[in-house]
Structure 1
Amino acid sequence: MVSVLLVLKDKCLGARVNRNKAHSKVVDVTTFGAKGDGVADDTKAFLRAWEAACNKDSATLHIPVDHRFLVGPLTFSGPCKSNIVFQVDGSIIVQVNPKAWTSKLVEWINFEILNGITIAGKGTLDGQGAVWWKISKLQDEVNDSRYSGSSLLSVRPTALRFYKSYDVSVQGITIQNSPKCHLKFDFCTSVKVVGVTISSPADSPNTDGIHLQDSRDVEIHHSSMACGDDCVSIQTGSSGIRIHNINCGPGHGVSIGALGEDGTKACVSNVSIYDIKIHDASNGGRIKTWQGGSGRLKSVSFSNIKVSNVRVPINIDQFYCHDKPCSNHTSAVFISDITYEKVTGTYLDTPVNLACSDDVPCTHLKFKGIELQPADRDEKSPFCWNSYGEQQSGAGCLKTGTPPNDPSLGHSPKDAC
């Protein structure tokens, strides 16, 4: 699988990067004082190199091979004079000295307000997350005196984040051992992620692979993700999302949500997830919402999903509650027009879990070609609650027809998206 991803990455996307490099001005971080020895702090040198690249036409900021650049939190801001290629051929490793995190920043490498930014190469971003994971698990009982009482206790940064940017491309790089989320997009449009490898241990806390928030026209494909949380997490304000040809596991599967936390309004639509493999994960294709929220999730399809040793391959949970006291509410995010097609493989707990809101049922669900077998040969029954639609397989338990309290009738203005 990995070799196929690399071949496709090189053939399909190498041309674009090479064209950019052929007509660009190369800015090498070492010419701005970066040592790349893994010991010296190269943060300021990276910022100087970015300023130079940002003011050139079609610049390539180069992170050369056979170097390990130690850097603290970095923000690369635009707008820039023209498109920039951030070419990562070497390694960039995070600074774990607590003095580097006194500002309590929540991102390690942050790109913002850019029109045309490509991160490419075969290099690595290493978040050295074990330091943060240890602190997260031990909380105030940190035994290591170097970090006791430090700012590392109050911040766990995302490794790579893009904010308010257009025409964003991330190609080929490896992001590993992120303190928290590996790759995040906030308020971005026209995003492509291809040939990316994300790698963290299964027990690393809250280490989502890719997180989308308020982003549109996003395609993620031919990538591999192993992490301690959702391989891909799709949050409110996102639409026009296409995820295909990815390998996910271990992790929590591919998830939409959790939506509607603390009574907020959530809107997600037009999501296509297809031709993916999920293994050794807690979920396959999952939708999760908090009680008390509002808004709408619609037009979502999971198709040709192959699972192996997945606890719950098909999961809609509108009673999501995580690490806080939760109570019942009558309002909920309205879920409709959701398709699961050709979901095949083995499960550990139950093949299907549809726990829809008591007062706002899930409607227009479709099951086609669901073929799920227990990994231990002890077959479990699917679970459906207040869920309506049609099924063309034996793995479902949907109610047919229209619910008496169909939320699509007389939909309130606060729920409209």
Structure 2
Amino acid sequence: MQIYNVLSFGAVGNGVKDDTQAFKNTWNAACQAQIRPYKSRLVFQIDGTLMPPDGPKQWPPNTNKQDRLLFKGVHGMLMQGNGLINGRGEKWWDLPCKPHKGGRSPSVSDHLGSLGKGNSKACVTNITVSDSTIKNSDNGVRIKTWQGGSGSVSEVTFKDIHMDIVLNPIIIDQFYCLSKKCPNQTSALMINSVHFSNIKGTYDSRKPPMHLACSDSMPCKNLTLLGIDLVPAQGGAYLDPFCWKAFGPKDTFSTRQVPCLMKGYPKMLQHDVDRTCF
């Protein structure tokens, strides 16, 4: 296996110097090699600590402040290692603007989104996120899609994840919108076969530990939640999970752990809707 080390492409790794270009150079070198990471299996190994700039004032101009690590058009990639992704959210938490007041965003989470923006088509399948810890974050494991999109999210697994005071530990949001002016639309991505397993820890009791808000016209199906053990942090109140148009298999323990999860197959999807992506 050919190894591409960011230290060989100019990274310093002292927690002070911006090593973004070194990461880009490493990725470009891998793309130009025979392994072709966008077609073949690629292992993205993290054994150190990855940190974004320390607060909004330190970010380079004309860059997206929401993206820490962003991968597009990659098939068969495995991210692993004993390292740490530190979101450095402290200076964001104190921003005076209304969307952030009282919150902790932005911070690091494991999520798929924002899919279907601008009525676009998105195709995501065969994703596994496991063996990680999410600490002091607004969101834990999340799938978010815009109304009006098409395509599908399928065969996604989140497993063996520890939550440490997370506001939204488990969330599916098919009504994602950055303002209050997004119109309701009937078209939506299909979310099918998403599995949450062995997710434990504490949540901020300002919100329920699970929020599964699926589309009215395209309900989520085949959702499984097993081994979920989330308790309120610091003696907060226990809150019931929230579900909307969220369906799990008929024979599953999921509906025992998440009573609001409906059993079986959505009636409006008895005749499969074409959401072919591949």
TM-score, scaled to structure 1 = 0.52
Contact 1:315 1:353 in 2 (8 A): yes
Gapped regions of structure 1 (runs ≥ 5): 1-12, 21-59, 64-84, 96-106, 118-162, 169-184, 230-248
Match of 2:227 in 1: 369
Task: State the 1:93 CA deviation.
Answer: 4.2
Match of 1:404 in 2: 267
Instruction: Please say if 1:199 is aligned against 2:51.
Output: yes
Q: Are the structure 2 counterparts of residues 207 and 321 from structure 1 closer, same or farther at C-alpha, using a change threshold of 3 Å? A: closer
Measure, in 2, the Cα distance between the counterparts of 1:312 and 1:358: 22
Instruction: Please say if 1:292 is aligned against 2:167.
Output: no
**Which of the residues 347, 370, 380 maps onto 2:239?**
380
Partner secondary structure for residue 317 of structure 1: strand
Task: State the 1:344 CA deviation.
Answer: 0.6
Task: State the 1:258 CA deviation.
Answer: 1.0
Task: State the 1:207 CA deviation.
Answer: 4.3
Match of 1:315 in 2: 171
Match of 2:9 in 1: 86
Partner secondary structure for residue 402 of structure 1: coil
Aligned sequence identity (%): 30
Gapped regions of structure 2 (runs ≥ 5): 57-63, 90-104
Partner secondary structure for residue 212 of structure 1: coil
TM-score, scaled to structure 2 = 0.76
Query: Aligned AA for 1:402?
Result: Y
Contact 1:202 1:250 in 2 (8 A): no
Contact 1:283 1:313 in 2 (8 A): yes
Contact 1:261 1:291 in 2 (8 A): yes
- Calculate the aligned-residue CA RMSD, in Å: 3.4
Measure, in 2, the Cα distance between the counterparts of 1:384 and 1:201: 36
Task: State the 1:200 CA deviation.
Answer: 3.3
How many pairs align? Answer: 244
Query: Aligned AA for 2:268?
Result: N
Match of 1:235 in 2: none
Contact 1:340 1:367 in 2 (8 A): yes
Task: State the 1:291 CA deviation.
Answer: 0.3
**Which of the residues 161, 171, 190 maps onto 1:305?**
161
Measure, in 2, the Cα distance between the counterparts of 1:166 and 1:226: 32
Match of 2:96 in 1: none
Measure, in 2, the Cα distance between the counterparts of 1:351 and 1:368: 14
Match of 1:37 in 2: none
Larger RCO: Structure 1 or Structure 2 (Cα < 8 Å, ≥ 6 residues apart)?
2
Task: State the 1:395 CA deviation.
Answer: 4.0
Match of 1:172 in 2: none
Measure, in 1, the Cα distance between the counterparts of 2:32 and 2:145: 25
Task: State the 1:191 CA deviation.
Answer: 2.6
Task: State the 1:94 CA deviation.
Answer: 5.6
Name the larger-Rg structure.
Answer: 1
Match of 2:85 in 1: 225
Partner secondary structure for residue 9 of structure 2: strand
Measure, in 2, the Cα distance between the counterparts of 1:90 and 1:277: 22
Measure, in 1, the Cα distance between the counterparts of 2:228 and 2:69: 27
Bigger strand share: 1
Q: Are the structure 2 counterparts of residues 252 and 394 from structure 1 closer, same or farther at C-alpha, using a change threshold of 3 Å? A: same
Measure, in 2, the Cα distance between the counterparts of 1:217 and 1:297: 16
For 1:61-80, list aligned pairs within 5 A: none
Task: State the 1:221 CA deviation.
Answer: 1.4
Measure, in 2, the Cα distance between the counterparts of 1:316 and 1:218: 23
Q: Are the structure 2 counterparts of residues 399 and 392 from structure 1 closer, same or farther at C-alpha, using a change threshold of 3 Å? A: closer
Match of 2:94 in 1: none
Query: Aligned AA for 1:405?
Result: M
